[in-house]
């Protein structure tokens, strides 16, 4: 019975996610679901992306968190539409939450929607939001064993950003074995090494993002 209930929940979420995708497509909005553990750099990546594309692409942001609006307040200072979702203890965003947010954003004035999911490497992988791409951020301080511990998240990602590469000289992290492990479970994934703090190789991420936008 528990398995059936879980399946029913996921099936219902998929139907709502498809509704969200149709809403996004009808407004010509390209949505990216940003996933990571807490502190990996989702908000920093959003800020770096906004600054890189300011004046070129109209960006909107959905901020998902258990509580508070701290990240949304920081992003709001960049002058982009931003909406906060507090899950009240929930470990992930779901399609229904996203639908409510979408209906409170000026979609006609947005070309790229960045959705910061709740920091968690388990639950968010199961719940589609209607996004066009899933992007996973994994940072150097987390260690290079995460693909083995949380395979589903890496399997479902369209791109993996290895953030905080400026810390490589100070921490033990085998980027080659990390990347090989990801490719073994997801051959199509794109992998980028970046530092939001220093700006290293951020342009590679931006270039990939612009290519995805051009394909919508």
Count up the domains in the chain and report the number. Answer: 1
Q: Which residues pair with 59 in a beta bridge?
A: 112
Tell me the CATH number at 13: 3.40.50.300
Q: What is the spatial order of strands in the sheet that 159-163 belongs to? A: 82-86, 59-65, 112-116, 30-36, 133-139, 159-163, 190-193
Phi, psi dihedrals of residue 162, rounded to the nearest 5° = -90, 100
| Tens digits of pLDDT across the chain (216 residues) | 455 555 677 889 999 999 999 999 999 999 999 999 999 999 999 999 999 999 999 999 999 999 888 999 999 999 999 999 999 888 999 999 999 999 999 999 999 999 999 999 999 999 999 999 999 999 999 999 999 999 999 999 999 999 999 999 999 999 999 999 999 999 999 999 999 999 999 999 999 999 999 987
Helix (H) or strand (E) holding 13: helix 2-26
Give the structural domain span for 141: 2-215
Exposure string for 100-129, b = 16+ CB within 10 A, e = fewer: ebbeebebeebbbbbbbbbbbbeebbebbb
């Amino acid at each position: 019975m528990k398995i059936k209930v879980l399946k029913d929940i996921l099936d219902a979420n998929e139907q709502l996610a498809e509704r969200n995708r149709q809403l996004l497509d009808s407004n010509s909005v390209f949505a990216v679901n940003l996933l990571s553990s807490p502190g990996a750099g989702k908000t920093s990546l959003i800020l770096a992306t906004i600054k890189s594309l300011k004046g070129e692409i109209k960006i909107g942001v959905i901020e998902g968190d258990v509580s508070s609006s701290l990240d949304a307040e920081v992003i709001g200072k960049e002058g982009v539409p931003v909406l906060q979702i507090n899950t009240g203890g929930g470990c992930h965003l779901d399609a229904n939450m996203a639908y409510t947010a979408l209906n409170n954003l000026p979609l006609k004035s947005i070309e790229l929607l960045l959705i910061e999911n709740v920091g968690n490497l388990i639950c968010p992988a199961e719940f589609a939001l209607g996004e066009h791409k899933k992007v996973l951020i994994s940072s150097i301080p987390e260690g290079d064993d995460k693909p083995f511990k949380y395979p589903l998240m890496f399997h479902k990602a369209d791109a993996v950003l290895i953030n905080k590469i400026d810390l490589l000289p100070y921490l033990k992290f085998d980027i080659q074995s990390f990347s090989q492990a990801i490719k073994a479970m997801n051959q199509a994934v794109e992998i980028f090494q970046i530092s939001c703090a220093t700006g290293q190789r951020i342009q590679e991420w931006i270039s990939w993002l612009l290519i995805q936008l051009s394909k919508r």
